[in-house]
Structure 1
Amino acid sequence: MITAIVICGLALSAGAVLPPANWLPNDTTGERLGFAARYILVISVWLLICIGVLARHRFFTPADIDGSGLTAGTAKAKILQAVLQNTLEQTVLAALVYGSFAALAPSQWLGALPVAALLFFCGRVLFWHGYAHGAGPRAFGFALTFYSTVLLFLASIFLALV
């Protein structure tokens, strides 16, 4: 977890200070919203993938075709549902934070958003790959996803207060 926090902190800081210095030439509210929307779409890919994979599994698995509300669910369906649930939670939180950060941050710091989306994306890959193998193998992926969002959240709180 500490390694993930350090990686997220360094990567987000680098994204905030490295060129281009001005991500928004006109720096309008619409540009900021559009900038955040691009990276919210990037992270939403994982939510789309998780929903699709679980739906596909249920469609082709007779024991799961009726859905989790009507069946006990196979072990595979339970894992896919857990990954989907966590991805939904992470995506909603990140989308809210990305929008807040885009609205509050100086335009030269907005490079942190594509970095956060990249960390989120990589974190989801590692989380999904490690989920079936237990807490240890999925922890780093969770941490990359979560702490990149937490650090942007803390920056947004700071920016909102100053």
Structure 2
Amino acid sequence: MVQDGSAQPVDLAVERRRIRIRGALALALCVLLLGFGVHWLPRWLSFPVDLADRLAFAFRANLFILIWLLVAVGIVSTIRRYSAEDNAGSAFSPPSARLAIPAAFLQNTLEQVVITMSAFLALATVEGEAALAYILASLPLFALGRITFLRGYPGGAGARAFGMVTTALPSLGAFTWTAYDIVGQLLASW
């Protein structure tokens, strides 16, 4: 991708290989940090036990996720404020080359924020300290994911894959953990 916003032809085989490699690196990092968090954080920190307190913990953790939405909105609004091309707003013209990537980052960040916040709230209903430790360990991964996604965006899908996987994988893990817990409780009640 070039800076004027036009896409360059892509060798899909090469791009898919880049996505797999960077996705695998992100997976390894997520497994390492989330595993460390689930295993070690409960030894160092005290986590809430009551459901209301656990949900409050998740809501507070979500504030650190919402910061990234504020950052994305801030980037886009700053560009709009100083760009004659973009000042009128998206209803009146497509984004300029300068705004295109930040606007795409904002859209993707909004999607990831909704998914992650929902995942955290669901996981907070799973009993035990490990689930809350997982939420806490996910926070720096979300931040790293957003930074590397934005920085990699001009380089195409392969360049942003690390950031995308690092952002999304903890949420997928939280949903999977919660679903496993729900199924386990249903089977135990039969």
Same fold (TM over 0.5): yes
Q: Distance in 1 between matches of 2:70 and 2:97?
A: 21
1:31 aligned partner: 53
Tell me the secondary structure at the aligned position of residue 2 of structure 1: helix
Shift of 1:62: 0.4
Aligned pairs for 1:50-89 (under 5 A) are: 50-89=72-111
What are the within-5 Å matches in structure 2 for residues 123-138 of structure 1? 123-138=145-160
Q: Determine if contact 1:42/1:117 at 8 Å carries over to the other structure.
A: yes
1:13–1:130 Cα change, 3 Å: same
Correspondence for 2:131:
109
Write the distance in 1 (CA, Å) between the matches of 2:37 and 2:103.
33
For 1:82 and 1:106, how far apart are their aligned partners in 2?
37
Q: Which runs of 4+ in 1 moved over 3 A?
A: none
Q: In structure 1, give the amino acid aligned to 2:64.
A: V
Q: C-alpha displacement at 1:12, in angstroms?
A: 1.4
| Residue 177 of structure 2: aligned partner | 155
Q: Is contact 1:23-1:108 (8 Å) kept? A: no
TM-score (normalised: structure 2):
0.79
* Structure 2 unmatched ranges of 5 or more: 1-22, 185-190
Letter paired with 1:128: L
Q: Rg: which structure is higher?
A: 2
> CA, structure 1 residues 12+105, in 2 after alignment: closer, same or farther (shift >3 Å)?
farther
Cα distance in structure 2, aligned partners of 1:109 and 1:18 = 12
Greater alpha carbon shift after TM alignment, 2-11 vs 119-128: 2-11
Q: Which residue of 2 aligns with 1:145?
A: 167
Q: Are the aligned partners of 2:123 and 2:131 in contact in 1 as well (CA < 8 Å)? A: no
User: TM-score by structure 1 length?
Assistant: 0.92
Q: Give unpaired runs (5+ residues) of structure 1.
A: none
Count residues with an aligned counterpart: 161
| Structure 2 CA distance for aligned equivalents of residues 101 and 154 of structure 1 | 9
